[in-house]
Structure 1
């Protein structure tokens, strides 16, 4: 048994450069897969971590649609024996007192007073200081912007001052802008002792909400108080760990797995190319082995052991490299988000999966060559014959199927993408042959006679060279499609937000808006319309499987602002008014899992109620994780009476002027002023940041494909050793040999680049016309990435060709003739 492994090792190391390139492709393929798996799991863990941090250990909370409510309303709950922990909180908008000349909107801060800063119902990762229930707790970005540290004093306009007792990491509860520009539309947040905030505000018996934890099953308690609170402004909800309103990263997972699959596909092709060529070269060896008594399975087993050895080596190097790349990728990925997030790399299970994939994919891609090696015919091989007959008929069939698959790719279906890629791969040998004929005059001009030979040589191994170019092309095409999506997504999101935002500005208040408030705002120069917006949040609900989720419910009115698009808005509004029903956003509908016409169960302020789902609307609000209800139904049946938001339509007047006026006139209860541009910038910033990652991915994919080009050229060169020796003997110089191989590599690379650009453009065009994308992707080419693909493809193809040409040019004439 040991001798077989030694023989396998000897066979692998006979051609060290080919072994190196194949092993490098396997290492990079395994590393890319491992890093993408790590990025997937770690990203998921990051958002789960912050979601659980926000929920802490709370089971239920009591809120109000009047913003605050008397503390004595929740006394019966606090007296319940099963209530083990509770946390009372009061929110109050205020302003920092700063020496710098900052606007009111930039100085706005929401102070949350809590009854116990160290409560188990509150998770605050402390960086510096301690939770002493005496001073302020500020997030790190706020401390840095204000230039404050633990022990320093912060003063609030018209309220008072307090010292900082602790600085904490980012949490959802204290999510704050990290720069003054973002502070224009987003308030800072700090925590204070409840007693101190009550002293400042005079609200001695008021709270905004209460969280509590129960021992055992609190369902009976929840049902009891849900009934008791009906008809009041107070309501009770389960605390649900569900951040899908603020976390729309499903597309990232698709991105991760697409890159991983592409890497494995390219690496697998390189492995297949190497082992298949090796089997062809060793047919005499296999025939002799079988004549000496080796069986078909013994020969196949020998080749299998060779691939197993390579797989073990590639995995041993690739997985640790993938862990390192995964860490780098996470730093780059989280860097595109607005807040500084911490993460702990989840590498154990992804690494194990990476090991399994690293061990299996080389063997899977080698199954046909392994089988082919065992089927070697002794008689035909010894006669130097081959069972392969004329392949012209096979070429026609291959071309026919390639064209058919491309035509099938025009069908609007997800499978069409696979059809286009498969069709392109089948047609690439003919593209290489045609381009070789077209480029021949150019190569002759630059390389003289070696250029003529290069144009001829690439067609001698047409399938191998065409497939090598195809792999480069597919990598380029997929990355270009991703780039187009990333570039076009902000434009699509921009259109969606503007069409469903409901106006130009959204104004939030701590108190319900009064009719006189709206009249005053309507009198502002440039304000053409003011509409109240009722938003009930957080509202918990049940999926079809009975899982608890939470979202917001927005009120809509006939002739009111457009908050969604459906195509039959008038019919939807009529149906919403006729009976208690809801329209779900796309993501909410997908998460719910039911069908139109079924009922969704909501925990409303008036108790648990069922509402018929009458349709699905496309909306930018909370990325579609939302529900819409008629305003009258929301008031009468749902039990939500007040509007804390206003939607303003603005004409011509600068937003900043109106924003400043709003903060001046309503500073006592105004909490946030956001423009449609602010929402667009906030939503698209993370997507725009993906461009840099795609640039890196494009270079990596082209680099991986270029390893295949180097391997193919090296195999082509080794197969022509006798021919090269003859050419040298007839007067060819080393430089001419080198130029010939450089021209071959350049031709393969150009075919891959041009084919990749054409395939990418076709994919982008068909995607832009697809109803599945619903206008999300416009037909606009990512020119910067296309230019990068051309430059990187040409450069790396030349590097790959140069490596192979150096090997051939270094061999002297005697060595070439002997090896031939």
Structure 2
């Protein structure tokens, strides 16, 4: 029987090609999803752990640690010298940095960067040196390559380094050093993009710069993170336990992977958001392929009826016939799935070899077991499952009945009631599962503790996807009920156009099972595309809003005094939409009426904005919240029970001079804003905004706030601003635009990948429609011949199939758009609710594009079946029928 089956398979090889293509494309989709997810995962992990260098462990605050206590912990508290002496510890680096100003002694030009201390081994430094070497003494420095170019510096030149303001040290920055430029570094992973890179000097030089004794090094600096290079083979569990025993309260030792997981989860609520999101649609794509496979085997079994019947007459049993069909499907699935996985790897290798990039993402080949195993196992299994109905159909008729010329019987009516009941149960359960998770997400967005979405976002998303899939499968099971009913209503509008249209509408009414099979192929494809498109649009709009609230000011320039000329230079930079001066005052928590009040330790920078400035300069306007001029609008994450200040507290404007705090008599009431920070850097937290409706006295300092029009690349835009301010001493350029652009780039890369994968669903749907129409041609051989015999022309017969395909395409597309939009909303809300208000869009342009593509695909799919229906002469067709 196996040899007979193999010969049958080779004979009908051309019939298996469409199914093979569907399987190949579907499994290629899944393999490519894993490969893209691997690349995206590496990219995001590299971003969140950009400060590690080649360190493999980190000491970081625990999730429940008190922020104020963590920020007060200094390098000395970590006992780094003792940790470095432990077995297997190759090096340790404290994340200590402070803003510094670099001045070219010869050219008298200025720029700023972060100042960090040199650590050994140099492999744990957060960026590589690209020219020269790292500092080897207290008189040497390595600066960012772009900063050196801006200052016209070359190796060996002297650089004047001044301490900046607002760094971790809290120093006034009165000291300055002259250091020899010995190296140029490049912050490729963006660890210090907020400051435009990092200047590296010895611990002693950095301590001296910030006013501390050189002998103490950086021991007195706050250090939220310590990065360790540990040889696990040498260290063992004993060394890790010894390190943990030396940690200050509230800190933990984590592997780099665990640190990355926690940071990604903090950002998105998920640790594998990209893989989960893409794979859910990859699985749906395989369901599309499964339907195509099922329809293809129905066509193949229809063609093999005589052969299978002959086998039955000469003694083949039902089980052997069934095994024959399953064997053919298993071989086809294994071959096509293997080619799909290999094709995905080959395409990725070709893209990597050609150096192709998507945005800033390099397409690297990262083959993990799921890339190969999942597509092959899933593709083979789905192919065999999809062929079960065809295998059953091959054994359902008697040998004599099968030998007699007849149309393919419609067996769906026999189990109609059971199938409908099962479909309804699946739809109810699936809808309940998805609704429960959505309810949990809503509760989580309202701050209710203990929700499943907050505690285990991955499991919650998995349940929601399972619920949606269960509902969708239920809808597909009863598609033979509602699709023909829907198409009958649409067909009533076109039935009177001509004989071809009337025949097409009649065909839809006569065989609802065949119509449902054809429509379902396109329905799944359109639903997939609409779901992806809706999810992508929602992701982009939601993330854009979240980024605007987190990085609400594009660029900040901190100044010691008002600089009108510098402001005019900045306004001339290409890409600047708006730039204005903002005075900065000092605020103290408390009334400020007594000496004790004035000695408050909790100080807040007050940015005094004039009416309309937040509208012009910020990505999220605070105008309505600042109305009245008596509100101190702080980042919403900095106001609350666990924060330094609470809503309604008083903050007084004070002046600080030589250790003496003087109240000005002005005070404001704290209110939570609708933004999370200015530039996203830790130094921007604790700031506040007020409406400058009254004179607050002389400002402590000034800032220039800049809003970009988005026309220029972020790198060149910030470089041009630094160049414009290079003649202004003590001008510190920073801002969240670089980090915002990094995250936007990740989002755009993700969307580009999804758009590229949308073509897969269209191709699979096209194959499905072509296969089911081919089946309908075989079923209607006698009918087509009769129509030809009574005078219907070839063109009219072709037109009737085209109209039938068009009606099915329009009806299935409209249903798919509705279902896909709802599914996309559900997925987007669950994934992104942790970021804030989730956008639930209705993308009419996308709907129009999908409808046009689906109609064109259906019409193209009807071409070959229509040619086949008209190829056989009427007399011959009637004789065969």
Q: Is the TM value for this pair above 0.5?
A: yes
Is residue 187 from structure 1 mapped to residue 227 from structure 2 by the alignment? no
Is residue 705 from structure 1 mapped to residue 765 from structure 2 by the alignment? yes
**Contact 1:109–1:187 at 8 Å: present in 2 too?**
yes
Structure 1: distance between partners of 2:801 and 2:33: 35
Larger mean Cα displacement after TM superposition, 764-773 or 429-438 = 764-773
Structure 1: distance between partners of 2:79 and 2:309: 91
Give the 3 Å change call, closer, same or farther, for CA 443–655 of structure 1 in structure 2. Answer: farther
Corresponding residue SS for 2:197? strand
Structure 1: distance between partners of 2:613 and 2:806: 62
Q: Shift of residue 73 of structure 1?
A: 7.7
Match runs of 1:93-172 below 5 Å: 93-95=99-101, 107-116=111-120, 119-122=122-125, 129=131, 131=133, 133=135, 142=146, 165=183, 170-171=188-189
1:737 alignment counterpart: 797
Give the RMSD, CA atoms, in angstroms: 5.6
Match runs of 1:624-773 below 5 Å: 645-651=685-691, 656-657=704-705, 672-674=734-736, 686-687=746-747, 690-763=750-823
Match runs of 1:170-209 below 5 Å: 170-171=188-189, 173=191, 175-176=192-193, 186-194=194-202, 198=206, 201=209, 204-205=214-215, 206-207=217-218, 208=221
Is residue 422 from structure 1 mapped to residue 473 from structure 2 by the alignment? yes
Give the 3 Å change call, closer, same or farther, for CA 767–212 of structure 1 in structure 2. Answer: closer
**Contact 2:100–2:115 at 8 Å: present in 1 too?**
yes
2:342 alignment counterpart: 320
Structure 2: distance between partners of 1:434 and 1:321: 41
Could you list the runs of 5+ residues in structure 1 that have no partner in the other structure? Answer: 177-185, 530-558, 577-618, 623-641
2:41 alignment counterpart: 44
1:255 alignment counterpart: 277
2:508 to 438, 450, 458: 458
Match runs of 1:517-532 below 5 Å: 521=606, 525=610
1:764-811 per-position Cα deviation (integer Å, ceiling 9, x unaligned): 677799999698544431222212211111111111112322333444
Give the 3 Å change call, closer, same or farther, for CA 269–120 of structure 1 in structure 2. Answer: same
Corresponding residue SS for 1:648? strand
Corresponding residue SS for 1:192? strand
**Contact 2:515–2:808 at 8 Å: present in 1 too?**
yes
1:801 to 857, 862, 866: 862
1:274 alignment counterpart: 296
Is residue 218 from structure 1 mapped to residue 268 from structure 2 by the alignment? no
Give the 3 Å change call, closer, same or farther, for CA 281–212 of structure 1 in structure 2. Answer: closer
**Contact 1:113–1:194 at 8 Å: present in 2 too?**
yes
**Contact 1:508–1:644 at 8 Å: present in 2 too?**
no
2:848 to 775, 787, 797: 787
Structure 2: distance between partners of 1:502 and 1:709: 48
Give the 3 Å change call, closer, same or farther, for CA 310–213 of structure 1 in structure 2. Answer: closer
Aligned length: 700
Structure 1: distance between partners of 2:123 and 2:143: 19
Structure 2: distance between partners of 1:419 and 1:786: 24
1:469 to 500, 505, 519: 519
**Contact 2:113–2:199 at 8 Å: present in 1 too?**
no
1:39-86 per-position Cα deviation (integer Å, ceiling 9, x unaligned): 233433455567498263465769994697689986566667876545
Is residue 238 from structure 1 mapped to residue 253 from structure 2 by the alignment? yes
**Contact 1:402–1:423 at 8 Å: present in 2 too?**
yes
Give the 3 Å change call, closer, same or farther, for CA 484–148 of structure 1 in structure 2. Answer: farther
1:25 alignment counterpart: 22
Structure 2: distance between partners of 1:68 and 1:313: 61
Give the 3 Å change call, closer, same or farther, for CA 690–760 of structure 1 in structure 2. Answer: same
Q: Shift of residue 261 of structure 1?
A: 0.4
TM-score (norm 2): 0.64
2:620 alignment counterpart: none
2:664 alignment counterpart: none
Give the 3 Å change call, closer, same or farther, for CA 304–468 of structure 1 in structure 2. Answer: same
1:360 to 381, 394, 398: 381
Q: Shift of residue 314 of structure 1?
A: 1.4
Q: Shift of residue 474 of structure 1?
A: 2.8
Corresponding residue SS for 1:267? helix
Give the 3 Å change call, closer, same or farther, for CA 133–381 of structure 1 in structure 2. Answer: same
Structure 2: distance between partners of 1:42 and 1:498: 26
Structure 1: distance between partners of 2:293 and 2:282: 16
TM-score (norm 1): 0.69
Give the 3 Å change call, closer, same or farther, for CA 79–477 of structure 1 in structure 2. Answer: closer
Give the 3 Å change call, closer, same or farther, for CA 565–333 of structure 1 in structure 2. Answer: farther
